[in-house]
Chain A
């Protein structure tokens, strides 16, 4: 029981224990070694285009933090409609972590987030 609890604490800790130690302990966390991952924002339809659209974001963030960040960059109020998608395909759950999404869906090292002011892929 104690050993199991110790193991859990390693997996629950977002930061590497010592340098890259976590990579060998828990490969599923390997990306946390660099801790920040690249996100490429791409507008769809009438959505405003961002001058800078490539950002590094903490991999432990939930996807809703990405949405919040995007709204701020676009100067959108909470009531302004904004829909976000991965790879022109689907809207992830807001509590998916950037780490999980990046591991499964990144291409050329960046997670592509499309954004639209109308529903694009309901």
Chain B
């Protein structure tokens, strides 16, 4: 398609508002520290014990099946001997947290990290949680398949990822036309962008399904034509400057949002970008309505909201969060942690 610029020209930097690109870039480049330790009971004979621990910074938007090749390379090179390497079957691998909860193959790594962070706010003496790596135990055998829900293959993870993107598309527009309108090569490009952690490759396609942040309220001037050239196919744009921006963040039916509470449950509801009284929907309003016991109106909150590892300001607008702070699967994941009595964030 003629609107594609070559990758090295970083097209998004020129065609989308700079602050939007900045936050999308920050979200994309976010990484979390992981400490991966092989369950010592499951190490093959003659493994080099004492080295079975691997440290890495993993992208927040990536998935556990995608970091397995790197871990496997390390184990094969350093820890297992030849006989041990032969008996290892990576389809039997699975991850567990230090506290013994199973880690899901289809959750973004950033979400796994943040949900662990908020769970630890329930436990005493975990003040330094933010700077220590998330400790994972890698099991080499006997996966509890029923509880893991998916096979550990990258392909199964890709299917789940595409499903989440389509669900997010449906939440936004009431149909999945934007996702199904992508050609196969474009859909594959989204996943390849994750797999290779390539911002440009991912956003070249994702810009066609993610809402734009061009202001449309309060009679703002229409966006320059270069904006629409990149953010949606020209054919989808009627070319009328007076028409409301139908791909805009404030035109969606609902923002794809999930709330994660410490140790569950996960809550999901329709999140319109503007409320019935015409005011813009904000994180503070959303939390006050859905979790009034933790975010009581007119009183200091008992909890805080963590988005992409960041303490989110309460006046952040839900539509903006959906366009700039969503994960690569299109979802805004709000992890709610419990505040210690001594400090209040809001």
The answer to whether A and B come from one shared complex is: yes
Give the B-binding residues of A (Cβ under 8 A): 1, 3-8, 10-12, 14, 25-29, 64, 86-87, 89-97, 100, 103-105, 121-122
Interface string of B250-286 (1 = CB under 8 A from A): 0000100011011111111110000000000000000
Q: Does B297 contact A (CB under 8 A)?
A: no
Q: Does B160 contact A (CB under 8 A)?
A: yes
Q: Does B242 contact A (CB under 8 A)?
A: no
State whether A90 and B160 are in contact (beta carbons under 8 Å apart), knowing that A1-B338, A103-B268 are contacts in the complex.
Answer: no
* B261/A8 in contact, CB under 8 A: yes
Chain A residue with the shortest CB-CB distance to B176: A89
Q: Does B122 contact A (CB under 8 A)?
A: yes
Q: Which of the four size classes fits the interface of chain B?
A: 35 or more
Chain A residue with the shortest CB-CB distance to B179: A90
Nearest Cβ in chain A — how far from B184, in angstroms?
9
Q: Could you say which residues of chain A place their CB within 8 Å of the CB of B166?
A: 89-91, 121
**Complex interface residues of chain B between 313 and 346 (CB less than 8 A to chain A):** 338-341
* B262/A8 in contact, CB under 8 A: yes
Interface string of B287-299 (1 = CB under 8 A from A): 0011111100000
Q: Does B303 contact A (CB under 8 A)?
A: yes
Q: Does B149 contact A (CB under 8 A)?
A: yes
Nearest Cβ in chain B — how far from A90, in angstroms?
3
Q: Tell me the complex Cα distance, A8–B294, Å.
A: 8
Q: Tell me the complex Cα distance, A49–B264, Å.
A: 36
* B170/A89 in contact, CB under 8 A: yes
Q: Does B232 contact A (CB under 8 A)?
A: no
Q: Could you say which residues of chain A place their CB within 8 Å of the CB of B340?
A: 1
Q: Does B139 contact A (CB under 8 A)?
A: no
Chain A residue with the shortest CB-CB distance to B263: A12
> Among the listed A3, A5, A97, which residue makes an inter-chain contact with B265, where contact means beta carbons less than 8 Å apart?
A97
Chain B residue with the shortest CB-CB distance to A7: B293
Q: Tell me the complex Cα distance, A100–B291, Å.
A: 16
Nearest Cβ in chain B — how far from A74, in angstroms?
20
Nearest Cβ in chain A — how far from B291, in angstroms?
7
> Among the listed A5, A6, A96, A121, which residue makes an inter-chain contact with B122, where contact means beta carbons less than 8 Å apart?
A5
